[in-house]
Structure 1
Amino acid sequence: MNHNTPLPQAAAARPLRHLSEVQRRVLTTAQLRSHGVSPAEMNEQCRSGGPWQQLLPGVYLLHPGPPTSEERLHAVLLYAAREVTASGVPAQPEPGQSHRPVYREAMITGLAALTLHGFTSAPPLLSLDRIDVLVPRLRRLRSTGCAHVLRAAPLPAPEEATGVPVAPVPRALTDAVSQLTDAGAVRRLLSEAVRGGHCEPAAIVRELNNAKLLSRPHVVDAVDSLLAEGRAIAEDRLYTMVREFGLPDPVWNVDLRLPGGPHLGGLDAYWPEQAVAVELDTRAPRQDEDALWSEYARKREHLERLGITVVYITPKKLRDGMEQQAAVVRTALMASGDRDPAAYVVVLPR
């Protein structure tokens, strides 16, 4: 609320100093009533040409003119969230802490959430006609105005961006992709999620699969590009791990075969003298995940019967714990001297 549009005098008994600036400008019916504003006064303030306006059912903007992006976000959350107290006013923070709104069972998702996460390929907030908001599946709430209601069971744990609860990137991406038909836009968003380090491809594909979006051709094409790009990034991190943590140089991207025998499988890195192998686990969680994991397990068991130690590393572990993964590989290399010699295998470029 700016200085030109104060609350009516009746509200003076409940000061607003504990509220943030945006909370003073965007209030619910319950919050206004807790400050002494009657429904008749609300209607009077929102008359044509009046100082207030009703943005959404039960949500008021306490100044004339278009709302800012921040005001729209908080209005949508106020509309969708369950009240945090009987009066609708969030509890006062501890002394010395900044007050932030608390929104129960509601979070921004879709393109608006991606913008808040910092995606450059997502549109500016003011250009969005609707803001997606995620609520529990059984909530009886309809989309209206700039609030577009989406549902989930269960709700993901929200993250915070610019003081606003937002869906995690994989969920926000899925909610955005579900409404996009532009293949280029879908590909750019998915690519930025991985290139920008927001999440790994597997997490994205899992959410898309759960939402049954992998039957859409333009989504499948974007996912195929995403997986290829994700593997290239993971391979680059693996090179970096070996170099920066002083591991001996392996042979890269090889196939193993028994002499005159069958193909044993491809590996991302192999140390022949120590019979230690590293394979990046870049499986995408699709319908055939169990079958693919069985193939991984069969290959690993076969190689280990031949005396070859196989270390599986996920892209997420490489991103978040490269030093720890380097220690795992180093331990396997050092332990090779305590094992029986491995069977002789033929190493071929892949």
Structure 2
Amino acid sequence: MSMDQHPNSQKNIPISVLDLSPVLEGSTVADALRNTLDLAQHVEKWGYNRYWLAEHHNMSGIASSATSVVIGHVAAGTSTIRVGSGGIMLPNHSPLVIAEHFGTLESLFPGRIDLGLGRAPGTDQLTAQALRRGRMSDGQDFPDLLDELRAYLAVPSDEHPLPVRAVPGEGLEVPIWLLGSSGFSAQLAAQLGLPFSFASHFSPNNTLGALQMYRRYFQPSEVLDKPYAMLGVNVIAADTDREAERLATSLQQQFLNLIRNKPGKLKAPVDNMDKIWSEFEKATLQQQLGSSIIGGPETVKRKLESFIAETNADELMINAQIYDHKARLRSYEIVSEVMNSK
């Protein structure tokens, strides 16, 4: 399906995967990366559209810090699914290096690579400083960095010759997406006529406002005729509502640890979260995870249909932080089944 088609029913909306390459408590980064490739190979068979990996640093529970490297690994182990970043945190990097990385990926896997870009550090301030070697940024220079990156990827022109060229990179069609959890990237994506991916999986209260801004101010471009919005959503699916609710306690514990500023590996599910969180923490988590869809096939189907109707999403990007790898595979399989059921 081309990006400029606007699906208006649940049946023909593409579904994609956001994989944070979770490192499980009691396991290793090597295990996490093996699970990532295995999940990618399964979802490719189940008809998922794209598979994105995210840049985070100094987090023991996320194995995809060298995002471009993991994208290459996943693309090499699959054959048709699009593979990309959700996202690369551009202020952490030289735009030239990102142009070269993704130019290399596109040269190796033509027509299959996406470049999703964010402006947050994807880490704490001390680690951001270590990444940027003192060139600190509050994200306000993101539009300039984006312009520089797009210039490196553009077809060379006699009118605007670049003294520094991205080889590989220049002249290659690497689709750029802007990622956001607020209005900043929504407005920029609209202004530049780029596709937009919103992080409703952890910023649900800003979703409708950001989408409204993106659609209202969208300017057609060489890339897109009309707005194209993909929404991240947590979906924890199992064969029964009860089992899904238990599996979801791993996600809840992960966010609880972030609130407590103690990020760690993904924990096994528990029977009762009330023994772990306070009432205040529970309320805070319910705000942050408010759009999460948790349940058996019928519950997931109903809630996905409602979410799509409310947001008019063009595509969904499913995140499933599930401790047991087989249960995680089953969750993505159920989502595929309910989205393709007649």
| Bucket of the pairwise TM-score, normalised by the shorter protein | under 0.3
Bigger relative CO (Cα 8 Å, ≥ 6 apart): 2
Task: Give the structure-1-normalised TM-score.
Answer: 0.21
Higher Cα Rg: structure 1 or 2?
1
Relative to the length of structure 2, the TM-score reads: 0.22
